[in-house]
């Protein structure tokens, strides 16, 4: 692509069609992914403009060739671009590291609906409210609704097997529908009030409760009237403390961008039905020299392809790509109003969101300084590139093996990059077909499954591979890397010291370098120990979950007369193994195919 004649020929052949382009380096690394309404105009602009940002200018200098994919529409290109960025993590794209889905508050599809915290697809039975900016906001709302409307939060398997009210009833957080202390109609009314509250109709709910309170008082039902009075007081308190003083029933997202010391923070404040649910701070990477407007557009595209658009958007900076919102509205078949001229109240909340962004930046800068110093110390120790961009991109993977006396063997692979652990990129490997307890075979299987295809895709190879183990484990890694033709200088074995004390570890290499013992004062060792401990934690939690699942299923398998079909029916009926354990003989007998005699046998076997 650097050959002017080839570049000119390539650009001339590009179509005036929507699509996605990928700038690729000489070694095959995808440097940048972008979308275009007109591929010819957009791709050509990279090689004709002279006022590119430092980030883009640095990227263009490394481009060897560009691949393009034509799409049917710009909206389709937007979706494809986002998917490629998430899967490839291109070095020069603006990346948003926190890609965990946003949480919701859910009411289950049940005669007496359960109120619960939820993450995942909302294309299932039930009612969903959100998304919320963080888990605290969901749990705070659940606590409010429990206190005011006394709705159940217990699992269905627990609900189905209660014989008396639980502690939640005793502390006035539930009306005990499990044992019939509230009618279906009254519980449904409480659910409806909760839904109205979440939809911003708290004032209407208060009026309805007030009417019921006065009626109960006229009928001399003073205890019931007092319950309604307390509900009204609690609701009034919540409204006073959480109201955004915006129009009720309107959902608003307030998005601001702040910069400090080369760092950028995007703060998202969510308002749902007039209630301020909280803020979420996001810290994008690869924003060297970029304008706030470009960062804002990138965030809006990434965020609203995964989450529903609100009724209104209030932004700290103008949206330069006017077609972006149109594409998102087309994709969601939903309209959103962009607030161009905020009123006095909206300006106040914009300022509060900016203050929260500044506070989040101050916290991250303090924490980042410490993290960056550890990354630099490791780079200096291992003679790796030490410029800021290289340190930010330093990619480390660490492997560990965990099992319980050979049972439920799991391998973990954790990832460190951008001076932090990247939990969304962690992997677990279920290890099968080996002699129980053979850690060497388990490590070999994990490494082979992780690096088998790296030869074809070098962009999938990290800068360093940490192996938590002794000489045998490290030798296995050497063998695997030899078989796949990988760079063995990337392997570092972390051998534990006496008593597994941090600071006594030694670093071992397989490329001829001498063993290193750094000591507890080493910042580089503290980073390695942190990554190693995270790999160990992730492996152990996975092993324990796998072991519990295997043991629970095996306990049912060991009961004579409980075959695969009956076992499946039992687990489905009671919502899992714990539900079966808690079920009474009468409950077990109600499952199709379970006789009185078999129900008694199951009941006794699981005690």
State the DSSP string of 152-212.
--S-HHHHTT-SS--HHHHTTS---GGGTSS-HHHHHHHHHHHHHHHTT-HHHHHHHHHHH
Total count of domains within the chain: 5
The pLDDT of residue 523: 82
Bridge partners (DSSP) of residue 33 are 22
- CATH number for the domain harbouring residue 455: 3.30.420.340
Asked if 405 and 489 sit in the same domain, the reply is: yes
Within a domain: residue 553?
Answer: no
Within a domain: residue 499?
Answer: yes
Listed range (71-75, 115-119, 132-136, 236-240) with the worst mean pLDDT: 236-240
Indicate the average pLDDT of the chain. Answer: 82
Integer-rounded Cα Rg, in Å, for the chain is 29
Q: Mean pLDDT over residues 254-276, rounded?
A: 84
Within a domain: residue 318?
Answer: yes
At 178, the pLDDT band (50, 70, 90 cuts) reads very high
Residue pLDDT, tens place only, 17-51? 999 999 998 888 899 999 988 999 999 988 887 67
Asked if 130 and 195 sit in the same domain, the reply is: yes
Q: Mean pLDDT over residues 254-277, rounded?
A: 84
Within a domain: residue 551?
Answer: no
The pLDDT of residue 217: 73
The domain boundary, picked from 341, 363, 385, lies at 363
**pLDDT for 547 beyond 70:** no
Asked if 187 and 270 sit in the same domain, the reply is: no
The domain boundary, picked from 363, 385, 413, lies at 363
Give residue 543's region: left, alpha or beta (phi > 0; psi -120 to 50): alpha
Asked if 114 and 234 sit in the same domain, the reply is: yes
Residue 122: C-alpha distances to residues 10, 431, 466, 575 (Å): 44, 33, 39, 20
- CATH number for the domain harbouring residue 36: 3.40.1440.10
Asked if 164 and 273 sit in the same domain, the reply is: no
Asked if 294 and 172 sit in the same domain, the reply is: no
Q: Mean pLDDT over residues 44-64, rounded?
A: 81
Residue pLDDT, tens place only, 74-107? 888 888 888 888 888 888 888 876 545 678 889 9
The continuous run of DSSP H or E covering 468 comes out as strand 464-468
pTM: 0.57
Listed range (6-20, 204-218, 387-401, 470-484) with the worst mean pLDDT: 204-218
Within a domain: residue 377?
Answer: no
Residue with tokens 């060297």: 288
Within a domain: residue 378?
Answer: no
Asked if 73 and 138 sit in the same domain, the reply is: no
**pLDDT for 495 beyond 90:** no
- CATH number for the domain harbouring residue 570: 1.10.150.20
The domain boundary, picked from 347, 363, 379, lies at 363
Asked if 478 and 350 sit in the same domain, the reply is: no
Within a domain: residue 95?
Answer: no
- Domain residues for the domain of 63 are 4-88
Bridge partners (DSSP) of residue 267 are 256, 281
Asked if 399 and 527 sit in the same domain, the reply is: yes
Residue pLDDT, tens place only, 347-381? 888 888 898 888 888 887 777 777 888 899 899 88
Bridge partners (DSSP) of residue 256 are 267
Within a domain: residue 100?
Answer: no
Residue pLDDT, tens place only, 369-427? 778 888 998 998 888 988 888 998 999 999 998 887 766 788 899 999 988 889 888 99
Asked if 128 and 228 sit in the same domain, the reply is: yes
The pLDDT of residue 283: 87
Listed range (62-76, 114-128, 285-299) with the worst mean pLDDT: 285-299
Spatial CA neighbour of 270 closest among 400, 108, 141: 141
Bridge partners (DSSP) of residue 50 are none
At 558, the pLDDT band (50, 70, 90 cuts) reads low
Asked if 537 and 459 sit in the same domain, the reply is: yes
């Amino acid at each position: 692509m650097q050959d002017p004649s080839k570049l000119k020929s390539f650009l001339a052949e590009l179509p005036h069609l929507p699509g996605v382009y990928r700038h690729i380096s000489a070694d095959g690394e995808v440097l940048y992914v972008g979308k275009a309404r007109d591929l010819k105009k957009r791709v050509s602009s990279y090689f004709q403009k002279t006022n590119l940002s430092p980030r883009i200018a640095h990227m263009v200098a490394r481009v060897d060739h560009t691949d393009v994919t034509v799409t049917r529409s710009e909206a389709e290109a937007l979706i494809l671009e986002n998917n490629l960025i998430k899967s490839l993590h291109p070095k020069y794209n603006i990346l948003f590291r926190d890609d965990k889905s946003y949480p919701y508050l859910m009411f289950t599809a049940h005669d007496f609906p359960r109120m619960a915290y939820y993450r995942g697809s909302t294309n299932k039975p039930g009612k969903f409210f959100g998304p919320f900016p963080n888990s605290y906001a969901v749990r705070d709302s659940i606590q409010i609704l429990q206190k005011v409307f006394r709705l159940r939060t217990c699992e269905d398997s627990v609900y189905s097997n209660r014989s008396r009210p639980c502690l939640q009833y005793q502390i006035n957080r539930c009306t005990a529908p499990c044992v019939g202390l509230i009618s279906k109609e009254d519980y449904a009314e409480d659910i409806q009030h909760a839904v109205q509250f979440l939809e911003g109709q708290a004032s209407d709910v208060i009026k309805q409760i007030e009417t019921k309170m006065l009626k109960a008082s006229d009928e001399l039902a003073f205890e019931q009237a007092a319950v309604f009075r307390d509900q009204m007081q609690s609701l009034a308190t919540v409204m006073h403390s959480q109201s955004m003083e915006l129009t009720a029933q309107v959902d608003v997202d307030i998005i601001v961008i702040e910069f400090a010391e080369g760092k950028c923070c995007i703060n998202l404040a969510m308002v749902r039905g007039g209630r301020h649910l909280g803020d979420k701070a996001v810290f994008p990477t690869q924003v060297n020299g970029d304008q706030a407007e470009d960062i804002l557009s990138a965030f809006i595209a990434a965020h609203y392809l995964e989450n529903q658009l609100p009724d209104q958007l209030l932004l700290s900076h103008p949206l330069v790509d006017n077609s972006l919102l149109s594409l998102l509205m087309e994709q969601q078949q939903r309209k959103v109003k962009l607030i161009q001229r905020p009123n006095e109240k909206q300006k106040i909340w914009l300022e509060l969101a900016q203050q929260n962004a500044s506070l989040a930046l101050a916290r991250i800068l303090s924490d980042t300084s410490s993290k960056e110093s550890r990354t630099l110390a490791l780079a200096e120790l291992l003679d790796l590139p030490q410029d800021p961009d290289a340190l930010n991109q330093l990619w480390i993977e660490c492997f560990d093996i965990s099992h319980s006396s050979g049972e439920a063997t799991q391998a973990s692979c954790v990832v460190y990059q951008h001076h932090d652990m990247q939990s969304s990129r962690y992997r677990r490997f279920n290890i099968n077909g080996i002699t129980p307890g053979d850690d060497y075979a388990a490590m070999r299987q994990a490494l082979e499954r992780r690096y088998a295809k790296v030869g074809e895709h070098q962009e999938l190879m990290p800068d360093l591979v940490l192996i938590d183990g002794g000489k045998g484990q490290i030798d296995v890694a050497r063998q695997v890397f030899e078989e796949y033709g990988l760079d063995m200088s990337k392997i570092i074995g972390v051998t534990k010291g006496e008593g597994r004390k941090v600071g006594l570890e030694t670093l071992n290499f397989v490329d001829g370098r001498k063993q290193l013992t750094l000591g507890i004062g080493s910042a580089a060792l503290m980073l390695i120990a942190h990554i190693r401990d995270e790999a160990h934690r992730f492996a152990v939690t996975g092993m324990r979950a796998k072991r519990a699942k295997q043991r629970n299923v095996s306990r049912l398998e060991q009961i004579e007369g409980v075959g695969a079909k009956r076992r499946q029916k039992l687990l489905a009926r009671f919502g899992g193994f714990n539900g079966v354990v808690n079920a009474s003989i009468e409950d077990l007998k109600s499952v199709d195919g379970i006789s009185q005699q078999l129900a008694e046998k199951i009941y006794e076997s699981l005690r």
